[in-house]
């Protein structure tokens, strides 16, 4: 059984900007709710993944400011404890946050022993020290301490978190069956996310917001339109444009990969809004299942191994593919792109998003033309579930890569 409604409610969310610095900011903001005093210092400790992804990415509403340090400072001035926290940025707030940064009142440290989603924020005022921890999910606050006293505790334990995927049959079969439980409100919400991400793409293409410089020399065809629009939405997001993106499993770029291809192809195939929304749900759930196995943040790029795989399966379904063909498209995508490393969030992620959606579309087309990766080629196994288990093993083998990448990036700064 797949808890599709719970998944949509908890894992498909609106976000402004990259979700890693947003997580840092909201963790600080939660600490600041415990005091009316002026924040004098902020000390951030994060997992490798949060540190890496937030090091150099632009923050929306800040006129091009980058990184976890400014995100933390902004968090002390904002009070929206959600992935939309940067929606509240104003010129005065940015000015105050920059003053804190320039006065060296904010610092960030990487906890190399921590992986996945983890941020610990310590703020100091004249009379108090407040510690807040977010972990497991970007917006999940697990602990608040004030002067050593526990104010709030909601420990994130993986085993106790919602089990979205309790399978009796194959993952694709279960996903297709779960579509029957969706009501009009569910599909309307998914449609809103598709339209939101396409709107970001269209604004970028029209040069209304940053990122349009990446979008030259695309000839008209389904694949190029999908690639161009996905790149545009990602370019806008990663360049700090003040536009919302509907995320998937804690990632804005993965939200783009799971929605934009089905939105574009569905329109071109003259599919109904309900059919397009169902295809997006398929993409969200395939991506979510793989991330449930591999982890929300990983050394390998989720635009490919999770969201891209989801898009490949969803596009195949949208074009009339059966369960076997959907599985073949996912495996073809995984075979072709697994192992592309994640070297942090930044503007060039838009290129990878474009590549991911193009390869997802190619995988779907190839499968429907009876060309696909065969069973037992490389890490592709005799079932999709076993193949995904092999992706988990590959990801674990990449764990030391994050340490090297962080050192390379730190040397630059």
Summarised one tens digit per residue, pLDDT across range 114-125 is 989 999 999 999
Q: Which residues contact residue 354 at a Cβ distance below 8 angstroms, ignoring those fewer than 6 apart?
A: 227, 228, 230, 231, 234
Domains of the chain: 17-160 (3.30.1330), 171-412 (1.10.4100.10)
Residues 74-89: what's their mean pLDDT? 95
Report the alpha-carbon distance of residue 304 to residue 163 in Å, rounded: 23
pLDDT at 159: 45
> Edge-to-edge strands of the sheet including 118-124?
106-111, 41-47, 118-124, 129-135, 141-146, 149-153
Greater pLDDT, 281 or 203? 281
Q: What is the DSSP string of 315-345?
A: HHHHTT--HHHHHHHHHHHHHHHTTPBP--S
Rounded to an integer, the average pLDDT of 338-351 is: 94
Q: What is the pLDDT of residue 77?
A: 97
Model pLDDT for residues 205-257, shown as the tens digit of each residue: 887 655 555 555 556 678 889 999 999 999 999 998 889 999 999 999 999 99
Looking at residue 1, what is its pLDDT? 86
Q: Kindly give, in sequence order, each residue whose CB lies less than 8 Å from that of residue 387, ignoring residues fewer than 6 positions away.
A: 331, 334, 379, 380, 381
What does the pLDDT read at residue 213? 54
Where does the pLDDT of residue 268 fall: very low under 50, low under 70, confident under 90, or very high at 90 and above? very high
Residue 384 has pLDDT above 60, yes or no: yes
Whole-structure pTM value: 0.92
Amino acid 162: pLDDT: 62
Average pLDDT, the chain: 93
- Going 222 to 225 to 231 to 233, the CA torsion angle's sign is negative
| Burial degree of 151 (CB within 10 A; 0-12, 13-18, 19+) | middle
Percent of the chain whose predicted confidence (pLDDT) is above 70: 95
What is the distance between the alpha carbons of residues 275 and 44, in angstroms, rounded to a whole number? 44
What pLDDT is recorded for position 411? 85
Query: Where are the alpha helices (H) located in 118-221, listed in sequence order?
Result: 171-178, 184-205
pLDDT beyond 50 at 160 = no
20-47 residue pLDDT tens: 999 999 999 999 999 999 999 999 999 9
């Amino acid at each position: 059984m797949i808890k599709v409604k719970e998944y949509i409610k908890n894992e498909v969310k609106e976000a402004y900007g990259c979700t890693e610095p947003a997580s840092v900011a909201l963790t600080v903001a939660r600490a600041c709710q415990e005091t009316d005093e002026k924040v004098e210092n902020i000390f951030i400790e994060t997992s490798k993944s949060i540190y890496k992804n937030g090091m150099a990415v632009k923050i929306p509403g800040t006129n091009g400011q980058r990184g976890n340090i400014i995100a933390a400072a902004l968090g002390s001035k904002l009070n929206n404890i959600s992935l939309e926290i940067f929606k509240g940025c104003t010129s005065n707030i940015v000015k105050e946050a920059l003053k804190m940064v320039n006065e060296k009142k904010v610092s960030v440290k990487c906890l190399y022993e921590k992986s996945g989603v983890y941020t610990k924020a310590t703020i100091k005022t004249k009379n108090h020290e407040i510690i807040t921890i977010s972990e497991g999910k970007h917006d999940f606050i697990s602990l608040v301490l004030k002067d050593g006293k526990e104010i709030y505790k909601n420990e994130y334990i993986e085993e106790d978190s919602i089990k979205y995927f309790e399978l009796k049959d194959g993952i694709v079969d279960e996903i297709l069956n779960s579509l029957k439980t969706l009501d009009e409100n569910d599909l309307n919400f998914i449609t809103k996310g598709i339209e939101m991400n396409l709107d970001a793409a269209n604004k970028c293409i029209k040069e209304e917001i940053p990122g349009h410089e990446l979008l030259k020399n695309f000839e008209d065809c389904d694949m190029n339109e999908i690639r161009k629009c996905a790149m545009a939405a990602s370019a806008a997001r990663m360049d700090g444009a003040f536009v919302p993106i509907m995320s998937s499993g804690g990632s804005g770029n993965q939200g783009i990969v799971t929605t934009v291809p089905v939105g574009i192809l569905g329109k071109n195939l003259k599919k109904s809004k309900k059919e397009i929304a169902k295809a997006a749900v398929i993409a969200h759930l395939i991506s979510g299942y793989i991330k449930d196995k591999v982890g929300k943040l990983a050394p390998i790029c989720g635009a490919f191994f999770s969201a891209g795989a989801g898009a490949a399966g969803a596009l195949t379904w949208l074009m009339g593919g059966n369960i076997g063909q959907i599985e073949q498209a996912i495996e073809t995508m995984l075979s072709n792109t697994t192992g592309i490393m994640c070297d942090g969030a930044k503007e060039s992620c838009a290129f990878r998003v474009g590549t991911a959606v193009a390869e997802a579309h190619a995988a779907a087309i190839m499968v429907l033309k009876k060309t696909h990766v065969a069973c037992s080629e490389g890490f592709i196994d005799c079932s999709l579930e076993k193949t995904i288990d092999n992706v988990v093993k590959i990801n674990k083998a990449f764990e030391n890569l994050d340490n090297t990448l962080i050192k390379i990036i730190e040397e630059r700064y």
